[in-house]
Structure 1
Amino acid sequence: MGQSGAIRLTNGTPYTWTRSSQTSWRMNSWSFPHSIAPGSSVSICIEWGEWVFDHAVQDSGTTEYTLSGTSYRFQVQARANMSFQLQIYLNGLSTHRYSQWDTFSLGWKQDGEIQFVLSGSENNFNSTYPSTSWMHDNLAKLGPRTLRHICIPGSHNAGMGRVGSGTVGTNECNTQTQNCAVSTQLERGSRWLDIRPIIWNKVLYTGHYRNTKVAGVGWQGRNGQSIDQVIDSVNWFTGVYKELVFLEVSHGYNADAGYREMNQEEWNRLLGKLKNLNHRFVTTAADLTKLRLNEFISGNKSAVVVIVRAASGIKLDSFPSCGFYEAHRLPFVSKYSGTNNSLALTWEQIRFMKEKRNNPDTNHLLTGWALKMSAADAVRAKMRDTSLLSMAEVGNETLFESLFVNCSKSTYPNILEVDGYSTHHTALVLAINDLYGTP
């Protein structure tokens, strides 16, 4: 038997994909469905030959799909040249990043699943590895829509792509939620940054902390990127790319004072730093979710919105017209699953989405697709070679399997917040916007 894995094909276009040809050489398994309907997401098992007396470089497969009613086609290709890889060849169609006739690699994941997403329509296709400036590139379509009619991808605990100092009982396995820094998350397409400030040795960092409520253990966690680094990253990004970026700032604690919640003076210090963010968006609108994307970034503008979700009693009065907004100015509903089981997470988030957002003019919905490590698992994480990022890989596979096929014109998330953010999440969100977002 050869190496096996899978590819998931997600159709976010209005066209049925019809298989027009299929060939393979020395592949043990290479069989794709005859058609894939709009709104479908299918997983295809693949097994390479790796015959004992032959070189793996001879293994190959090609399947071509035609977008029904058009001349657009693409091929899924299996190639072995020193290593296995799947790749896409664009036969007559182009995306915002790739030209027609381009070929790009999807890689290969043994015993895992890789993703290919194609969405949009003629002259406006999006795909896996979308353009960095995806908002502006799709502004003709997304610009007239309010935030309630758009899905935006986000990074859960965004500052934890880098892990620094912290408590004795923690390490990168049980605190790191992202596999890259904030600047790279933005490049990959994330536009909603979950920022959790912590004061540590008088310095403001992002952090991932929790109270274990166990005697002798107490608060445990680690620091991520500093707030200054986050500000520099956002400023660099919005200086180059004319996009809309949200920072949701919450869970503020002071480790120097026994991990109590940050007080007004400390929040003022943090907000004073955040005034160094460029392109802060200022409006008197009572509900930001009712503003159109064009109102934020039309005319080659960038925009940064800071949502402050602080403890009761914290005021923003000292920072008028600074682009800082209390949580009620961007209201949304969400449900934290708090489970380490990907099936339980899937069931709960899908059920909550369908219950709370059954038409696009009701609740603004944040879908948090992140698994929680139990206290016992956190203690043993490094010894067992498990981590929040490895858990995110499992959760993300169920995300691609289950979320898109449960969306519709009336039901989809407005914010999709994940661990282990990648360009695949951007592509998935664009598919939701392309097929289901409403003007």
Structure 2
Amino acid sequence: MGQGSHILIQNRTDQDWICFHNHKYQMDGWKFPKKIEAGTEVRVYVEFCEGVFKDEHDDGGEVKYRFASDTDETPSRYIEFAATFKHDRDVYVKLVDVPSKPEALNKTIDLGWRHDGSMPFALYGSKGNYFPIDPGNWMQATMDAIGEYTLKEIAIPGSHDAGMYKRNGHTLFGEDCNTLTQTLSIGGQLANGSRYFDIRPVISGDQYYTGHYTKAIKMTWQGANGESVSDIIKEVNEFTSKRKELIILNLSHDYNADVGNASYRHFNEEEWTGLFGQLSKINGLLHSEANDLTHVKLNDLLADGSKVIVVTEKLDKSQLGKYYRKGFFTSSEFNVYNKYADTNSVSQMMADQIKKMKEHRAAYFLLSWTLTQSHREAATCFLFPSDSILDLAKTANANLYRAFDEISGSLYPNIVYIDKFDSPLALSLVLYINALVCDN
């Protein structure tokens, strides 16, 4: 038995895909369907062979699909899924003369390899104009379909504890394994499709960072700083300068870590004002008088380019002062239902979140597909690496496909929220949801 993973294939075109070629060598898992119907998604298990007396570098397979309208026995235009093991395991998709505009698509899309995970691929379009979605440009690419819908009517992907992809200073017990929730910067998460970011600002060394801190024992705070606010501003501005996308930064869990480990406190008015001053350097901050931004159409929000919304939890408009509604909004203008399951069990987390989604379908609902370390895991994960937050995230993300079966055109989350946002996996679920909404 060797390493295995799943390819999550979405056929969001107007044609069935028909298999006309399927070959494998030394692959223990390679069961592609004979047909992938239009508007459906399939999950295909792929496993490399690592048996005794077999050279794993010989492992490989390829399967080719033609469009149903093309009846040629040896079609010249097709979609190919392939696996190789040259220097490492790899899965990729080839688009060969796929009809598109203004010209046919000929490109290779590397899906990489995620052991015990999922690797998403989707193809969109109709009437001979087919295209894969660029995760960094997915809103603009699907605007013809979703533009006249409000945020409350569609879904977007989100990143939990978004700034914690590296440590920039930490307490005695603030290790990678119990503080890091991401593997990419905010810019990297944006490129993979995330549009809602959980930003937890802290003050450390008179500078603003993101942070992940917990009151571990009485009068003692433990944790670490993550990405700096100045770096986040640079990355957001670089991203929006080339695109037409909506970004939401949600501020919560603020702490001043310069006042002593036993005395961490929330920001005072001066400290909030200093943070707002820095964040006001973000380009494209949305100015709006809307009482509920989730009920504004996407076309209106993005009428003149990319926009950024900064939401402040537990602050009122008087505390926002001159910044109020000039890019900065209270949670009453962007009210999200966000209640995590607080468990390290996938089955318990899933049951909890699906139950809450059904009970709060009228709310702007955040599906928190995240696992939480137990107290023992948080305290000892530096001895047991498989107990880290990122390992729990890997397990949660590998099971995100299970949410597909719980979702319909009338029951779905508005934010799909994960740790370890290092692939378009959450986006694949979001695009599925939005297609359901538009088809209703």
Using the size of structure 2 for normalisation, the TM-score is 0.87
Q: 2:93 is matched by which residue type in structure 1?
A: I
Q: Identify the range of structure 1 (21-30 vs 195-204) with the bigger mean alpha-carbon deviation.
A: 21-30
Cα 1:436–1:51, aligned 2, differ >3 Å: closer, same or farther?
Answer: farther
SS of residue paired to 2:119: strand
CA-to-aligned-CA distance 1:352-403 (integer Å, 9 cap, x gap): 223322xxxx32111111111122211111111132112111110111x212
What is aligned with 2:230?
228
Alignment check: 8 A CA contact 1:316 1:324 kept: yes
Alpha-carbon distance in structure 1 between the residues aligned to 2:131 and 2:359: 29
What is aligned with 2:302?
297
Q: 1:342 is matched by which residue type in structure 2?
A: V
Q: Any stretches of 5+ residues in structure 1 without a counterpart?
A: none
Does 2:43 correspond to 1:42? yes
Shift of 1:209: 0.8
What is aligned with 1:107?
112
What is aligned with 2:139?
135
Q: How many residues align?
A: 426
Cα 1:12–1:305, aligned 2, differ >3 Å: closer, same or farther?
Answer: farther
Shift of 1:324: 0.7
Alignment check: 8 A CA contact 1:6 1:46 kept: yes
Alpha-carbon distance in structure 2 between the residues aligned to 1:267 and 1:438: 44
Q: 2:314 is matched by which residue type in structure 1?
A: A
Alpha-carbon distance in structure 2 between the residues aligned to 1:314 and 1:159: 27
SS of residue paired to 2:385: coil
Alignment check: 8 A CA contact 2:32 2:44 kept: no
Shift of 1:101: 3.4
Higher RCO structure, 1 or 2 (CA under 8 Å, sep 6+): 1
Q: 1:154 is matched by which residue type in structure 2?
A: G
Alignment check: 8 A CA contact 1:119 1:430 kept: no
What is aligned with 1:79?
84
SS of residue paired to 1:102: strand
Shift of 1:194: 0.9
Cα 1:311–1:377, aligned 2, differ >3 Å: closer, same or farther?
Answer: farther
Show the 5 A alignment for 1:242-391. Answer: 242-257=244-259, 258-299=263-304, 301-310=305-314, 315-357=319-361, 362-386=362-386, 387-391=388-392
SS of residue paired to 1:162: coil
Cα 1:349–1:237, aligned 2, differ >3 Å: closer, same or farther?
Answer: same
Show the 5 A alignment for 1:51-130. Answer: 52=53, 55-66=55-66, 68=68, 73-93=78-98, 100-110=105-115, 112-122=116-126, 127=132, 130=134
Shift of 1:433: 1.8
Shift of 1:30: 2.4
What is aligned with 1:207?
211
Cα 1:64–1:380, aligned 2, differ >3 Å: closer, same or farther?
Answer: same
Alignment check: 8 A CA contact 1:39 1:435 kept: no
Cα 1:12–1:26, aligned 2, differ >3 Å: closer, same or farther?
Answer: closer
Shift of 1:419: 0.7
SS of residue paired to 1:65: strand
Q: Identify the range of structure 1 (41-50 vs 141-150) with the bigger mean alpha-carbon deviation.
A: 41-50
What is aligned with 1:428?
429
Q: 2:393 is matched by which residue type in structure 1?
A: A
What is aligned with 1:181?
185
Alpha-carbon distance in structure 2 between the residues aligned to 1:298 and 1:93: 32
SS of residue paired to 1:267: helix
Alpha-carbon distance in structure 2 between the residues aligned to 1:262 and 1:363: 29
Cα 1:382–1:145, aligned 2, differ >3 Å: closer, same or farther?
Answer: same
Alignment check: 8 A CA contact 2:118 2:425 kept: no
Shift of 1:282: 0.5
Alignment check: 8 A CA contact 1:65 1:74 kept: yes
Q: Any stretches of 5+ residues in structure 2 without a counterpart?
A: 72-76
Q: 1:431 is matched by which residue type in structure 2?
A: Y
Alignment check: 8 A CA contact 1:252 1:261 kept: yes
Alpha-carbon distance in structure 2 between the residues aligned to 1:24 and 1:348: 41
Alignment check: 8 A CA contact 2:316 2:330 kept: no
Shift of 1:67: 5.2
Using the size of structure 1 for normalisation, the TM-score is 0.88
Q: 1:262 is matched by which residue type in structure 2?
A: F
Alignment check: 8 A CA contact 2:317 2:324 kept: no
Shift of 1:18: 4.4
Shift of 1:198: 1.1
Alpha-carbon distance in structure 2 between the residues aligned to 1:234 and 1:95: 31
